Amino acid sequence: MVRWARVTKQPAGREFCQPRELRSTLLLDWLIDTQENAVPSETTNNDQSLIDLTCALVRMESILGNERAVAECVCQEMGRLLFDHVEIDKVGNAVGIVRGLHGGPRILLDAHMDTVDVVPVNAWVHQPFAAEIDNGCIWGRGSSDMKGALAAMIHAAGGLDRANLAGTVIVSASVGEESIEGAALRTVMDRHTPDFVVIGEASNLNLVRAGRGRAEFTIETVGEPAHASDPGAGINAVHRMAAVIGEMEKIPMPEHQFIGRGTMCLTDIISIPYPAHSVVPSGCRTTYERRLLPGEEHDAIKAELVEACARAKAPDTMVELAMTDYRTYTGTHWVEPKWFPSWKLDEDHLLVQEGLRGLRSAGLEPGLASYQFCTNGAYSAGTAGVPTIGFGPSTEQHAHVVDEFIEIDQLSLARRGYESIVTTLLRGTAP
Ligand SMILES: [Zn+2]
């Protein structure tokens, strides 16, 4: 028996993702309560159903900040699969819960709904939002990063046998990850307090137990303006920046035995004023993106950058941690430092060992790996300190590229993997 509450229209059969007006961003439209012993839909174990959902999600453009349609689609599908509770929270995350019949830990499976842009669009052979199926793959923006993983998580949770489950499974389809890693997940975790987190970013079906973090710093050199016809009369801030850049390249990067090296990349540069009309520029600003390793602190990295500026003999140069200014589709405004810490979990941690055991029992052969890109794990593990692993279909190299695709075989293996990780961790008391 299922009791639907405050759902204006019950999702129907295989009609995926009919867009409709979202009347409230505060849960009410999507609150669903099921009574005990809800029987999961048989279609959860159907590969075609998983392919259909992935394609439906890929067809919905959800470039960063535009995730509303995907969130509604996710809610509809969770409702169809008889999740115990489905909601869209205040920042726009779609969250569904499946409760076991026995008490136990709370596991959060997270996948973000937003994607990066598709430029240059004329370089795509497969249309980015057509979800074409060709050569055993689904093609389109977000297929690997990470709508395939999201679909696999939803179907894995939707197919769980509650009678044999001691604990709770929370699936979050989160917003804004491509701009501000972890901010949206923070909202989910504050509300649902998981004991364990599984990040679904691409891992090539390996088990990830660590990830590099990310930080952005802005550096601004100061000069003295003068007429460009007499450059010796001023101090050119761009020349000073050139010296700073040279010193930045010499900063040694740290290395971690398991994760690898930290990196630093000059990502943008602009002179001030820009454009300059016959003026020796009085300012120059660059942004550096630093990939972080466990234990790195923002003050120490900033001190390294300040020392490099001093070696470049560029007086008055300013070094600052950059800020994110981001607004979600529900209007939540985040202004926060661009500091997303690295994280790791020991190999002998229960979550790693049970995760490996679960994946092997599903017939997979996972290795242990680390994420080189930054993920929502920066918050769940790096900031909140909640044990976190990563597991997902496809590879990091398939993210953010022209003609993005996901292999259909990996999709169904990922669904089996999620299901098996959960059932291994939440083993019920029934024989
Ligand atoms: Zn991603």
Q: What is the pLDDT of residue 2?
A: 33
Question: What is the pLDDT confidence band of residue 21, given thresholds at 50, 70 and 90?
Answer: very low
**Is it the case that residue 101 has pLDDT exceeding 90?**
yes
In the reported structure, the alpha carbon of residue 146 is separated from the centroid of ligand 1 by a whole-number distance in angstroms of 6
**Is it the case that residue 133 has pLDDT exceeding 60?**
yes
Q: How far apart are CA 336 and CA 326, in angstroms?
A: 9
Q: What is the pLDDT of residue 92?
A: 97
**Is it the case that residue 338 has pLDDT exceeding 80?**
yes
**Is it the case that residue 18 has pLDDT exceeding 90?**
no
In the reported structure, the alpha carbon of residue 376 is separated from the centroid of ligand 1 by a whole-number distance in angstroms of 9
In the reported structure, the alpha carbon of residue 256 is separated from the centroid of ligand 1 by a whole-number distance in angstroms of 23
| Amino acid at site 63 | I
Instruction: Tell me the average pLDDT across 264-281.
Output: 96
**Is it the case that residue 193 has pLDDT exceeding 70?**
yes
Over the stretch 60-89, which tens digit does the pLDDT of each residue have? Answer: 999 999 999 999 999 999 999 999 999 999
Q: What is the pLDDT of residue 310?
A: 96
400 Ramachandran zone, left/alpha/beta (phi>0; psi -120 to 50): left
In the reported structure, the alpha carbon of residue 57 is separated from the centroid of ligand 1 by a whole-number distance in angstroms of 15
Q: What is the pLDDT of residue 188?
A: 98
Over the stretch 201-245, which tens digit does the pLDDT of each residue have? Answer: 999 999 999 999 999 999 999 999 999 999 999 999 999 999 999
In the reported structure, the alpha carbon of residue 417 is separated from the centroid of ligand 1 by a whole-number distance in angstroms of 18
By percentage, how much of the chain surpasses pLDDT 90?
86
Q: How far apart are CA 87 and CA 109, in angstroms?
A: 15
In the reported structure, the alpha carbon of residue 104 is separated from the centroid of ligand 1 by a whole-number distance in angstroms of 29
In the reported structure, the alpha carbon of residue 181 is separated from the centroid of ligand 1 by a whole-number distance in angstroms of 9
In the reported structure, the alpha carbon of residue 85 is separated from the centroid of ligand 1 by a whole-number distance in angstroms of 25
**Is it the case that residue 19 has pLDDT exceeding 50?**
no
Of 135, 38, 120, 52, nearest to 85 by C-alpha is 38
Domains defined along the chain, listed by start: 2-211+342-425 (3.40.630.10), 213-327 (3.30.70.360)
Residue 263: phi and psi, rounded to 5, are: -135, 160
Q: How far apart are CA 149 and CA 201, in angstroms?
A: 7
C-alpha separations of 374 from 212, 265, 378, 401 in Å = 6, 14, 7, 16
**Is it the case that residue 267 has pLDDT exceeding 70?**
yes
Q: How far apart are CA 126 and CA 144, in angstroms?
A: 14
Q: What is the pLDDT of residue 32?
A: 46
Q: What is the pLDDT of residue 46?
A: 77
Strand-pairing partners, residue 111, are: 173
What b/e sequence results for 385-421 when a residue is b if at least 16 CB atoms lie within 10 Å of its CB, and e otherwise?
Answer: ebbbbbbbbbbbebbeeebbbbbbebbbbbbbbbbbb
**Is it the case that residue 15 has pLDDT exceeding 80?**
no
**Is it the case that residue 35 has pLDDT exceeding 50?**
no
Tokens of 8: 């204006």
**Is it the case that residue 142 has pLDDT exceeding 70?**
yes
In the reported structure, the alpha carbon of residue 223 is separated from the centroid of ligand 1 by a whole-number distance in angstroms of 40
Q: What is the pLDDT of residue 172?
A: 98
Q: What is the pLDDT of residue 26?
A: 41
Question: What is the pLDDT confidence band of residue 45, given thresholds at 50, 70 and 90?
Answer: low
Over the stretch 298-334, which tens digit does the pLDDT of each residue have? Answer: 999 999 999 999 999 999 999 999 999 999 999 999 9
**Is it the case that residue 4 has pLDDT exceeding 90?**
no
Q: Are 241 and 224 in contact (CB under 8 A)?
A: no
Window from 131-145, 181-195, 283-297, 415-429 with minimum mean pLDDT: 415-429
Mean pLDDT of the chain: 90
pTM over 0.85: yes
